[in-house]
Amino acid sequence: MNQMNNHFFSRLFFICGFLMLSMNSGLIAQKNVDNKPLITIGNEDITVKEFMDVFKKNNLNNEVIDKKSLEEYLELYINFRLKVAEAKSLKMDTNKVFINELAGYRTQLSKPYFNDEKVTEQLIVEAYQRKLKDIRASHILISLNKDASPKDTLAAYKKIMDIRQRIIGGESFAEIAATESDDPSAKDREAIPNQRPFRPGNKGDLGYFSVFDMVYPFENGAYTTPVGSLSMPVRSDFGYHLIKVSEITDAIGSIEAAHIYVAVNPGADETEITEKKAKIEKIYAKIQEGTSFEDAVVQYSEDRGSASREGKLAKFTVNRIVPEFVETIKKMKPGEVSAPIKTIYGFHIIKFIGNEAPGSFETEKTALKDRIAKDGRAKKSEEAVIAQIKREAGFSLNSKNAQLFINSFDSTLLQATYDPKADMGNKKTLFKLGKKAYSVADFASFVGKNQKKQEGISPEAYGYKLLNEFVHERSIAFEDARLEKKYPEFGALMNEYRDGILLFDLMDKKVWSYAVKDTAGLKEFFNKNRNNYMWSERATATLFTVTNTSEVAKTLQLVESLPDDGAIAQAFDADSIRSVRIQPGKFERGDNRFLDQAEWKANSIHQMYSDVDNQTVIIKIKEIHPPQPKELDEARGMITSDYQTYLEKIWVEELRKKYPVNVRHELLDQISQSKQ
């Protein structure tokens, strides 16, 4: 499954990157040369405008357009067009998998065309105002299916209102959340031996969030509830929520920070917590005494992923990290280093590097519009669009035929057992949309496929609900069928996605997957280029990390007297020495901070001490290896990548022979001169 996910995301990132090379950007180049063929690849002409649209989109730094930059980009563009030509020649665009994938992208790309601009503009303004604030809130959830019956809905509402009265009466919101909320994160998660550790519940505390971080109804409830107040029940697709807002502050936006981390095991006892707290405080004291934050990260942080980047975390927003982090950073200035703080994961010392707060409305507007198109609030806009589509299509409903048919429904519809076969011959017109008339039989077929069990609703009411869904579906289909003609830019975008998918599939076949499978070719390539893959100086060594100071002397004696790691490990076991971790291997400089401090000399033993905990590290260096070439298995990833680059180069040379390329350089001169 992980491999499938990795392949999907690689495919998606490739297509998105490809679109950076191919999305339209409006009028460029002089009108008198726009439609002239600049490039001919095989039998296909590519106009000046086609090429310059792509070039301008990819010129992200807005650099001066001159002949040199045009010619450099031209080579990249020709290579990509050659690959697309080959994919089409192989008829890869007729493959069923390709057709289905492109249809999936089309569904996503068409969504923005089903939004009303006036409604969208109101939603953009609302979203921007909310983007300027960060909220910290807690909630209690009573679960309820979005299609629940009136009876179940009433029962859930009564339960949430009873809870609200208890809180107003003085009971603790947090304690009620821990016992009554249907949100699993509110409750403690008990440990299961050998499966999962203990994890304390959040008692309803959702931490910090901003616009788009929560479902729209919940967001509305949070942003309209005053600080310190308790909301009325808020209905979402998940059920009813009670929201308690504890803090509203100016939005901090995108945050850049670094940390030094000391882990605390889930469910740790007080002794362990006290030890880890003492360790982080010693590290903080060293920073206070003059050790740089960055040096302290390298030496002491237990987050090895960020330690290689001076403790820097990937940029994050307030909803992406534990609230203690956000709470601390909001009180800091850029460049400041915090005192140690505790989270559910352990202890941290934070360095606040900086942040990017929300910009002006004009700078944020486009991104907000794109986000709204993908958000649940887009339904408001979509409803307005459906009404417009129906007006443009001259929608008319035959109310008499609709009522006669819907009145024929009985309890089988509510049990989702209605059989449409008896009504498939009913060709009476139900409604018209554009030039097409939809019959009672069409609707009966829709009902047969979409009926679901219902409670607390009459067959007639459910029938009209399904009719509305059918009209909605057909209205969307009517508009969707004419999108390419109505919006040329959409048609161009679909062409670009088509080429991107084709190119990915062909590159995977000819280069990426082929390089992995071609073991003989990979080995030959490596043998010809093996001096490009070198080890630096390395030491074959074993590190013995001792956490019990009373066992240090005995450990050192055994390391000095016994010939190999196996004999030493057996001696540890015989002498009941339990506090030693043995780490053998070949190390380059930089792999281990204790080894870096030792003199690199064959057959030598060194004793090092940690200055923030009770660890002693005994290092046994057995051999020093000078720089030497790596073996294939030692650098397979890097070698495979280079082999792929080599294969692609050879393949492109073959394509240039198969599809002759002709460039009209005099047109490049015209373009570059017109831009100076």
Q: Say yes or no: 551 and 620 in one domain.
A: yes
pLDDT for residue 488: 82
**Residues 143-166, mean pLDDT to the nearest whole number:** 86
Strands 429-433 and 37-41, sheet pairing: unpaired
Instruction: Choose one of 250, 275, 300: the last residue of a domain.
Output: 250
Q: How far is CA 99 from CA 103, 107, 109, 497, 671, in A?
A: 6, 12, 15, 11, 37
Closest Cα to residue 416, out of 381, 456, 449, 457?
449
Asked if 283 and 296 touch (Cβ cutoff 8 Å), the reply is yes
Same domain, residue pair 198 and 259:
no
The pLDDT assigned to 617 comes to 96
Q: Write the DSSP string, 517-536.
A: H-HHHHHHHHHHHGGGSEE-
CA distances from 83 to 10, 100, 118, 470, 508 (A): 18, 21, 43, 43, 12
**Cβ-based neighbours of 470, under 8 Å, separated by 6 or more:** 438, 442, 443, 446, 447
Q: Is residue 527 part of a domain?
A: yes
* Structure-model confidence comparison of residues 561 and 673, the more confident one: 561
- Of 185, 218, 250, which closes a domain? 250
* Percent of the chain with pLDDT strictly greater than 70: 93
| Tens digits of residue pLDDT in 358-390 | 999 999 999 998 898 788 887 888 888 899 999
Same domain, 282 and 322: yes
Q: Which of 41-45, 152-156, 417-421 has the highest mean pLDDT?
A: 417-421
The CATH number covering residue 542 comes to 3.10.50
**Last residue of a domain, which of 441, 460, 481?**
481
Whether the pLDDT of residue 155 is over 80: the answer is: yes
Using CA atoms, how far apart are residues 10 and 642, in angstroms rounded to an integer?
A: 18
Give the sign of the dihedral formed by CA 365, CA 369, CA 370, CA 371.
Answer: positive
Q: Are residues 521 and 650 in the same domain?
A: yes
Element (H, E) at 665: helix 665-674
Contact indicator for 312, 264 with CB cutoff of 8 Å: no
Closest CA to 375 of 554, 194, 215, 234: 215
pLDDT exceeds cutoff 60 at 458: yes
Q: Helix count (H) and strand count (E) of the chain?
A: 27, 19
What's residue 174's pLDDT?
96
* 22 and 78, same domain (yes or no): yes
Q: For residue 537, what pLDDT is reported?
A: 94
Q: What pLDDT is recorded for position 542?
A: 97
Reading across the β-sheet that carries 396-397, which strands appear in turn? 396-397, 429-433, 436-439
Average pLDDT, the chain: 89
What integer pLDDT is reported at residue 17 of this predicted model? 57
C-alpha dihedral sign at 122, 127, 130, 131:
negative
Give the pair of three-digit tokens for residue 315: 């940029």
DSSP helix/strand/coil, 639: helix
Percent composition of the chain: helix, strand, coil (DSSP 3-state, to 5): 55, 20, 30
Both 476 and 561 in one domain: the answer is: no
Is 25 in the same domain as 70? yes
State pLDDT tens for residues 157-190: 999 999 999 999 999 999 999 999 999 999 988 8
Residue 199's pLDDT is 80
Q: Is the pTM of this model over 0.85?
A: no
638 located within any domain? no
Phi (first) and psi of residue 325, to 5 degrees: -60, -50
pLDDT of residue 23: 41
Structure token digits, residue 205: 């505390």
Instruction: Tell me the residue range of the domain where 430 lies.
Output: 393-481
Question: DSSP per residue over 401-452, as a string?
Answer: HHHHHHTT--HHHHTT---GGGGTT---EEEEETTEEEEHHHHHHHHHHH--
Residue 272 lies in a domain: yes
**pLDDT for res 456:** 63
pLDDT at 151: 77
| Average pLDDT estimate for 576-597 | 93
Give the CA-trace dihedral at 54, 60, 65, 68, to 10 degrees. Answer: -80
The pLDDT value recorded for residue 13 is: 53
One domain, residues 246 and 317: no
pLDDT more than 90, % of the chain: 67
- The pLDDT tens digits of the residues spanning 41-97 come to 998 898 888 888 778 777 655 556 677 788 888 888 899 899 989 998 999 988 898
Taking the C-alpha atoms of residue 406 and residue 159, their distance in angstroms, rounded to an integer, is 36
Kindly state whether residue 386 falls inside one of the protein's structural domains: no
- Which helix (H) or strand (E) segment holds residue 176: the answer is helix 173-180
Residues 321-326: contacts with CB within 8 Å, 24+ apart? 322/207, 323/136, 323/205, 323/207, 323/208, 325/257, 325/350, 326/134, 326/207, 326/208, 326/252, 326/255
Kindly give, in sequence order, each residue whose CB lies less than 8 Å from that of residue 260, ignoring residues fewer than 6 positions away. 280, 283, 293, 296, 297, 300, 301, 311, 348, 349
pLDDT at 5 over 50: no
What angle (nearest 5°) sits at the alpha carbon of residue 474, between those of residues 108 and 478?
Answer: 70
| 477 in any annotated domain | yes
Contacts of 524 (CB under 8 A, 6+ apart): none
Higher local confidence (pLDDT), 154 or 2? 154
Nearest to 146 by CA among 156, 158, 160: 156
288 and 349 belong to one structural domain: yes
Provide the CATH number for the domain around residue 303.
3.10.50.40
Would you say residue 118 lies in a domain? no
Handedness of CA 220, 223, 225, 230 (dihedral sign): positive
Residue 29 has a pLDDT of 38
Q: Both tokens of residue 600?
A: 């690199």
191 in the same domain as 243? yes
**SS3 labels along 30-54:** CCCCCCCEEEEECCEEEEHHHHHHH
Q: How far apart are CA 218 and CA 139, in angstroms?
A: 10
| Residue 125 belongs to a domain | no
Give kind and range of the element (H or E) at residue 353. strand 346-356
593 and 544, same domain (yes or no): yes
Domain co-membership, 564 together with 613: yes
Look at the chain and report how many structural domains it folds into: 5
Edge to edge, what strands does the sheet with 604-609 contain?
A: 580-588, 538-546, 616-625, 604-609
| pLDDT digit string, tens, across residues 654-667 | 999 999 999 998 88
Residue 116 lies in a domain: no
Rounded mean pLDDT, 406-422: 95
Q: Residue 192: is its pLDDT beyond 80?
A: no
> Is 357 in a helix, a strand, or coil?
coil
Better pLDDT: 232 or 63: 232
